[in-house]
Chains A and B, each alone.
Chain A
Amino acid sequence: MSEITALTEDERDCYQEITNVAMGQAADRLARLLNVYVVLPIPNVNIIERSEFKMTIKSLEDAPSVSAVCQGFIGAGIAGEALLIFNDLSFSDIAKLLDYESVQNSNEELEMLMDVANVLNGACIQGIGKQLDINFSQSHPVVLGQHRPISELLDDKHATWERTMAIEINYTIEDHNVNCDLLLLFTEESVHHMNRLISFLLED
């Protein structure tokens, strides 16, 4: 199968728009859950090499430790992962928003992570699925390195892929110190399938 080295302008535009709509649905749910306003920027869509991905992950690690929730999804020849990355500094603010009296221990932090991740990951994945007419299966969420460097994920001994299509969405909650990044990562094979699926959206 041929390599996908880059997306055409039209393809990038299409993925941005599809993600935009799915993000909006996710943000809506979060907004209602927390009674806040979620700031929605334009998503970044790119094909990235494994080495670039490692750099992206590093740059997202603003503070010494981040937490991440990871969930796989699959359907109709498209497979990938939703990686939601939280800066730990956001925890106490999220706790306030979710009405947790205090977050004293790692159990409560976990509860919170799950609550927010379920909303954002799920709504985004299903939102994209709905626009492409796919009912994605989602795997159970996995918490990656609570308070441990995420870059541990990418040790080269187990390299199974060369490149991925990464859609990066940053969620910020207005007036609160809450910031998280959702990375939707699609396998190279999936991108072939998706490009075919979106071609009907792009025709005149």
Chain B
Amino acid sequence: MSDSKLEMTEFHWLMDVLQNIDVGLVVLDRDYSIKLWNGFMENHSGLRPDQAKGKNLFSLFNEIDKSWFQKKAESVFLLNVRAFTISEQRPYLFKFNNNHPITGRAEFMYQNATIIPLNNADGSTEHICLIVYDVTNSAMSKHDLLGVQSLLGSH
């Protein structure tokens, strides 16, 4: 296979992976408009890419605390470092349903998130990528553990 054909194939694989991977991927520009919306986000939000792209993140999801999130995101835009949010701070970014709506106990999906800078060729950052992880299982285990600990009177 020629080099450019190989690159195209790899590109298609990568697109496939991004679409099907079981974490949420959201790319945002400087105005917090959505530029990329993968399969995970589509399936859990019920919003197709054409319904999410070009819209302002906060207008679509008012459960996200705007000033809190922007503070985190600005550090990524300006300082070119990663930022993290964990479910212990806030249980979720996006209010999605529990992945186990029948057998599960959690009311919603607990989430951790990573925000990474996406750099331009000149090193400046005009886009960020929000990676959303479902951590419901470990969050529930922690709850259970805390419950047991308080029952035993230790903590």
* A114–B38 CA distance with the chains assembled, in angstroms: 27
B46 and A77: CB pair below 8 A?
A: yes
CA–CA, A85 to B39, complex, Å? 29
| Contact A70 B101, beta carbon cutoff 8 Å | no
Chain B, interface size category, equals 20 to 34
Contacts of A139 in B (CB 8 A): 22, 99-100, 134
Select B102's contact among A80, A136, A137, beta carbons within 8 Å. A80
Which residue, B43, B44, B107, has most C-beta atoms of chain A within 10 A?
A: B43
Report whether A153 and B39 are in contact in the complex, using a CB–CB cutoff of 8 Å. Answer: no
Closest to B48 in A: A76
User: At the interface, yes or no: A187 with Cβ under 8 Å from chain B?
Assistant: yes
Q: Is the CB of A137 within 8 A of B137?
A: no
List A contacts of B99 (CB < 8 A): 72, 74, 139
Give every chain B residue within 8 A of A153 (Cβ-Cβ): 103
User: For the complex, is A118 an interface residue (Cβ under 8 Å from B)?
Assistant: no
Q: Which residue of A lies closest to B105 (CB)?
A: A158
CB-CB < 8 A to B100: which residues of A? 70, 72, 81, 139, 142
Q: Known A74-B44, A160-B107; judge A135-B39 contact (CB<8 A).
A: yes
Interface centre among A74, A136, A154 (most CB of B within 10 A): A74
Chain A residues contacting B40 (CB-CB under 8 Å) are 137
Q: Which residues of A contact B101 (CB under 8 A)?
A: 72, 79-81, 160-161, 187
The answer to whether B22 touches A185, judged by C-beta atoms less than 8 angstroms apart, is: no
> What residues of A have a CB within 8 angstroms of the CB of B22 in the complex?
137-140
A137-B22, A139-B22, A140-B22 as given contacts; A185 in contact with B102, CB under 8 Å: yes
CB nearest neighbor in A for B46: A77
A164 in the interface (beta carbon within 8 A): yes
B97 within 8 A of A: yes
**CB interface residues, A 97-151, toward B, < 8 Å:** 135-140, 142, 144
A75 within 8 Å of B by Cβ?
yes
Kindly state the separation between the CA atoms of A160 and B98 in the bound complex, as whole angstroms: 11
Of listed A79, A80, A164, residue having the most chain B CB within 10 A: A79
- A136 contact set on B, CB distance < 8 A: 43
Query: Nearest Cβ in chain B — how far from A34, in angstroms?
Result: 27
What is the bound-complex CA distance between A79 and B100, given in angstroms?
9
Chain A residues near B107 (CB-CB < 8 A): 160
Give the residue name and chain of the A residue nearest to B100 (CB). A72
B103 touches A144 (CB 8 A): yes
* Distance (whole angstroms) from the CB of A86 to the closest CB of chain B: 16
**A134's closest neighbor in chain B, by CB?**
B43
Q: B16 to nearest A CB, angstroms?
A: 11
Whether B103 lies near A83 (C-beta < 8 A) is yes
Which B residues, 28 to 47, have Cβ-Cβ distances below 8 Å to chain A? Answer: 39-40, 42-44, 46
Residues of the A chain whose Cβ atoms lie less than 8 Å from the Cβ of B43: 74-76, 135-137
Within 8 A of A (CB), among B84-99: 97-99
